[in-house]
Structure 1
Amino acid sequence: MTTALITGSTAGIGAAFARRLAADGHNLVLVARDTKRLREQATELHDRHGIEAEVLTADLSTDAGIEAVATRLGERRHPVDLLINNAGFGNKGKFLDVSMADELTMLKVHCEAVLRLTSAAVEAMRERGRGGVVNVASVAAFVPRGTYGASKAWVVQFTQGVAKDLAGSGVRLMALAPGFVRTEFHERAGMGTDNIPNWMWLDADKVVAAALDDLSRGKSLSIPDPRYKTLMGAAKLVPRGMLGGISSRTGRKYGPQ
């Protein structure tokens, strides 16, 4: 059996990756901040699918948390074959409404942790000549929408750049950029979602299925739904300045309140 490590594994897209990979027979390393939820998740997946599920409690907004996960990724005796960098969060409010501490924490989790964990994983994977990394971004990466969108744009650019550098090594990297997904994400951030149209919502399990299919095809970017692929294609045709205005108005109309 191969082993997959998933950050932010206890909810949303991370939990969907855990369910799918366990069902496919992968052993798991489950990473999140809540030890109780991690143990419950590990027990459920072990009992249902007969796989081994390690629990690693880590807060990726801290150096100690990042280092603990990086150390596990670097283990040669019990290698990780697939890394899912999924941990993340949103801040409620416009720029200057959010504290600088919260903005910096977002960059720590979305950018620094992804950089350090990807580096730890691919170094070991390249030695073995195989492996994969999925860095979860967002379609927010493609429109000017503050720190969240900027951090996810970094994830996309970083992942695609590293994917080119490692071409031919046997290690695949892919950025996953979904739209609105029904998870705990908005609730945790205190964001309302009643104003988001039903057609904009995606199912986490379907997002994961599309992502793994795209990874197997060697794609470095996955936008896992035809609706959002169309929207992002149209966005490329709009001048950047105009796109910023549209994004701001759309965010006020459809975005979390």
Structure 2
Amino acid sequence: MIESIDVKLKHVCTMLGVSRPELCAKAQVNYKTLAQAMSRNSKVSSETLDEICEAWNIPRDYFSKYTPILRVAPGPNDDPPARAAAYSEDLAAQRAHLEIIRSRGRVGTIDFINWVQNGGSEIVDFETLRGTVDLFYPMRVTDSTPLPYRIGLRSLSTEYFELKCEEHYIKRVMSFDRKLLENVKEAHIQASYRPYHVSDVTISVMINGKRVEENYRRTIAKVPSKNGPLVTAVHAELIPTPCLRIAGMPNLSPTGQ
């Protein structure tokens, strides 16, 4: 069965625990326009769906007519506890399905390096990267921390550091210990001398009263932005455990030509 966009939007709201107006507000989409389009069985524009997916980290493939919704339905004779259990299982199944679609579309380190090695591309030309990397102004030796040009809405730093905007990034990062700040600065400077720089990083910081401890692989590269300045793109992904960690990853960080 092919589910309509209307039905899928209802499922998204249920999974996220938000109302349709709240869904639209965060995506800066006009709720009345969307509601009218759905009530008339009109086609919801691709731009509208893109805005919702970008704001809520929903895989664009979720709204494809070829992507079914997995359901766990209660039996017709189930009592209230059984129906409640079926509802919980249904919600869990939908969330798991969404995560499978999301992980299928994630950009990995090799994907990012392959794009960098293509050469001559602009950051906006690689649509798969949109929102998954953080962009910074080139770092100078006198800078204490990288200055963000644009923080990706679905980047690892946004997810784990709970970032809200570029100014928030600066405040958050400046609260980290000096050793970690020096590591970030050194990586950005190293990236300015070569096509890209890859390193494995261990982080242990407090974010909103919670301890965040992760191992991740960071790739930094200089890239031209369309009609804008030369920027530094930073891609990061968690390192699976167990996984061989190679400090500095010298075999993946070529010297400049």
The higher-RCO structure (CA 8 Å, 6+ apart) is: 1
**TM-score (norm. length: structure 2):** 0.25
Higher helix share: 1
For the pair shown, the structure with the greater C-alpha radius of gyration is 2
